[in-house]
Structure 1
């Protein structure tokens, strides 16, 4: 692999580096000034990809961690950190965002700045989700070489172009820290691609204190009980492995080219459920929508439909659940297989039910029944009438009852088709990697 040419696309130039240095210094002064007003705060420091030197050209975020003493109560921790964030960023249109707990986001000179609270604790004494972050920063600053920092940048771009970068629920992909851990473990980008192309089911990257049930485990070097791959969907892990195989098998390939074919199966067999949403935390809505889609897919399969895949779309106003089926229309009647005729009581009960009954060559009773719903649209509308019974999260019931719509096939809006094109498209890397592996 000739990584030299690729690095030009991901390594910041001197002008970007200097501009971000000035912005980071300015932000640190603002946050430190406000933090100094509170005895609860024991330190302020830079974190994230900027502090580690792994940020991508043109895509910098600056994370500032406000460190609280471990004895500060949770309510005060949240309130004071919010005050520091908003007061320090008052001139930059600050807003509150949510991960495992709230933090403040603003845009300073075109750069996204996150003011994140955490507790100042020793390894293993975590009180909040962000407590590991300063330890992550120190680890990577100490152990990554300059070449490896650039290789992290290559890996991040490799993941981004495949749509599998980002640990948020909407993506369920690789975090920046996971990319850093992979490079640190395998020594560089080439080593990571080579090893991941041949990774085995159940493999563990790093040192683990126990077994995990993810296809591949990626261990946090500062916490042997934390599997970074737990936040990565199986599909995204599969796309990463296939992307690595393509790059490993084809020296001419670029890590920045994601093979994706045009629509291959069309929209005729797609059903869409759409409903409005409120101003709830988007991460929460995404999680509920994903669980709702999975629950509805299970109900559709119980109703006789074959679900090939499903997808979720969420924006500021609405939620869409999309289902690609083998067919949106199935036979109105179905054959039910009953008990062996020698099981007298069971056979008698089965025979009493309505419908034609006969004996199969295997000596089992069979009956033809009429399905309650033989179109995907009808079944989905039935499911939505009682969302709780279907296993849809309670947080969505109100929005669904206010007005959920079901659309099938050609009636699906073009805007939804454009956003969800991946649902009916094939990943060409799958076929490319399979062909090369078989040669």
Structure 2
């Protein structure tokens, strides 16, 4: 760490200490972000003490196996991925790392060949440059790297998939982009296209067309590195969906997504298929022949009944006032508790700490438009949410 600090100071930049698997120096020199990550000097990849210790082995492998004449092919692939927001193995992007790009060029020899081969990739595709494994080992290999869409064996470590960070969505986006470029090659696909935020008119039209309701949980993101923040945010969204869809409640989430500017705004978006329920709820009890359970059921609901208890077929039934009529009410009740209870409910620890300090549940379209006005990228996120592209290739 001291070496990293010294380098940034000599370059007259600013720095801070960040934490991932272990501490590292994150600096800014003349507007350029620089990460200086220490690693242990180990003899082989079998003696790793941290994930970063592989880097010197990767460098040596590339120096030996990636000819200089292929450097431009690597740059083309990286630029193509960057322009289409697929470059990076970070938790936000879930795309292709620089090392994966270099290995793909070593394998296929050119940018165009990578695209052509990608069209034939299927989920669970295996690429083994050093031929560590035989064809008959591939089914076992897919179990080893369970449900990883691209398995690109690290030439320096046969037990590691260099493409493990690649999500299924990124995998199919790349295949779709490859198909599009090969059909109609054009320079513009190598440059970021300006994304426009959704307008108030468009948002209202989308909701009227879909006949759904958006429920947003807004809070301040925890001060952790993005590679910690994004997985926790996604797990939080999963947990919120399961809270709403517990068997005794009939709320239904159509789709969910997460957004954060990684500074002062984090949002979990829940698009509700069913967000409001009737005031009354029917509880069906045991059969009348089940005397003990019938007694307990009748005792439990006799003071709560709006109608009944009555007989439905051979069962006792009762109508009671529903505890939560709206998804907002259910979420507010579930989240308005101490941090320890939030964590016990399965809310990720850093997110739980922030939620316990305060949150807002938003479903009013005007409030959502206000958020778009304050944070342009949130508006871009909303547009991409509604304008899901067709990822079927062929």
Q: TM-score, normalised by structure 2?
A: 0.74
- Look up the match of 1:67: none
**Pair 319,252 (structure 1): closer, same or farther in 2 beyond 3 Å:** closer
For 1:189, the equivalent position in structure 2 comes to 111
For the pair 1:84 / 2:3, whether they are aligned, the reply is: yes
Partner residue, 1:358: 312
Pick closer, same or farther for the CA change 1:332–1:98 going to 2, 3 Å: same
Alpha-carbon distance between aligned partners in 1 of 2:182 and 2:288, rounded to the nearest angstrom: 60
Against the structure 1 CA distance between its residues 117 and 418, is the aligned structure 2 distance closer, same or farther, given a 3 Å change threshold?
closer
Question: Which residue number in structure 1 is paired with residue 384 of structure 2?
Answer: 425
| CA–CA separation in structure 1 for the residues paired with 2:353 and 2:93 | 25
Give the equivalent residue in structure 1 for 2:15. Answer: 94
Match of 2:332 in 1: 381
Question: Cα offset for 1:392?
Answer: 0.5
The counterpart of 1:120, out of the listed 33, 37, 41, is 41
- Shift of residue 384 of structure 1? 0.7
- Structure 1 residue 199 and structure 2 residue 121: aligned? yes
Alignment partners' CA distance in 2, 1:369 and 1:351: 13
Residues 5-404 of structure 1 aligned to structure 2 (within 5 Å)? 82-90=1-9, 91-108=12-29, 111-121=32-42, 122-206=44-128, 210-211=141-142, 212-213=145-146, 214-251=148-185, 255-256=189-190, 266=206, 269-277=213-221, 279-302=223-246, 303=249, 304-331=251-278, 358-359=312-313, 371-386=322-337, 387-404=342-359
Structure 1 gaps, min length 5: 1-81
The answer as to whether partners of 1:296 and 1:383 remain within 8 angstroms in 2 is: no
Deviation at 1:130, TM superposition (A): 0.9
1:290 is paired with a residue of what secondary structure? helix
How far apart are residue 336 of structure 1 and its match? 7.4
Per-residue CA deviations over 1:208-253 (Å, capped at 9, x if unaligned) read 6633111332322211111233222332223222222322344468
In structure 2, relative to structure 1, the CA distance for the partners of 1:127 and 1:261 (3 Å cut) is: same
Give the secondary-structure state (helix, strand or coil) at the position aligned to 1:156. Answer: helix
Decide whether aligned partners of structure 1 residues 109 and 403 sit closer, same or farther in structure 2, where only a CA change above 3 A counts.
Answer: closer
Report the Cα distance in structure 2 between the residues aligned to 1:345 and 1:159, rounded to whole angstroms: 67
Give the RMSD, CA atoms, in angstroms: 3.7
Matched, 1:407 2:362: yes
SS at match of 1:229: coil
When residues 334 and 222 of structure 1 are mapped into structure 2, their CA distance, relative to the original with a 3 A threshold, is farther
Aligned to 2:107, what secondary structure does the other structure show?
A: helix
Deviations 1:227-282 (A, max 9, x none): 23322233222322222232234446853367989857636622211223454444
Deviations 1:4-45 (A, max 9, x none): xxxxxxxxxxxxxxxxxxxxxxxxxxxxxxxxxxxxxxxxxx
Deviation at 1:398, TM superposition (A): 3.0
Higher RCO by CA contacts (8 Å cutoff, separation 6 or greater): 2
Q: TM-score, normalised by structure 1?
A: 0.67
SS in 1 for 2:190: coil
Unmatched tracts of structure 2, length 5 or more: 134-140
* Shift, 1:136, TM fit: 0.9
Is this contact kept in 1: 2:83–2:191, CA < 8 A?
A: yes
Question: What is the rounded CA distance, in whole Å, between the counterparts of 1:198 and 1:349 in structure 2?
Answer: 64
Say which SS state the counterpart of residue 191 (structure 1) adopts: helix
